[in-house]
Structure 1
Amino acid sequence: MCHPSLSHALATAHHLRDLALLRRVRDRIDREYVQPLDVEALARGVNMSAGHLSRQFKLAYGESPYTYLMTRRIERAMALLRRGDLSVTEVCFAVGCSSLGTFSSRFTELVGMPPSVYRDQEAHTTDGMPACVAKQVTRPVRNRQARVAEPQPA
Structure 2
Amino acid sequence: MKRRNFVLGLGALAAGSGAAVGTGAFSTVQAERDIGIDVAGDSDAYLAIEPGDENGDYLTGADTSAAALDFTSGNDQVTGGGEGLNANALSTFADVFSIRNQGTQDVELQVTPLVYTDIDASFFGGVEAVLAVFLVPRNPDGIED
TM bracket (short chain) = under 0.3
TM-score (norm 1): 0.24
Higher helix share: 1
TM-score (norm 2): 0.25
Higher strand share: 2
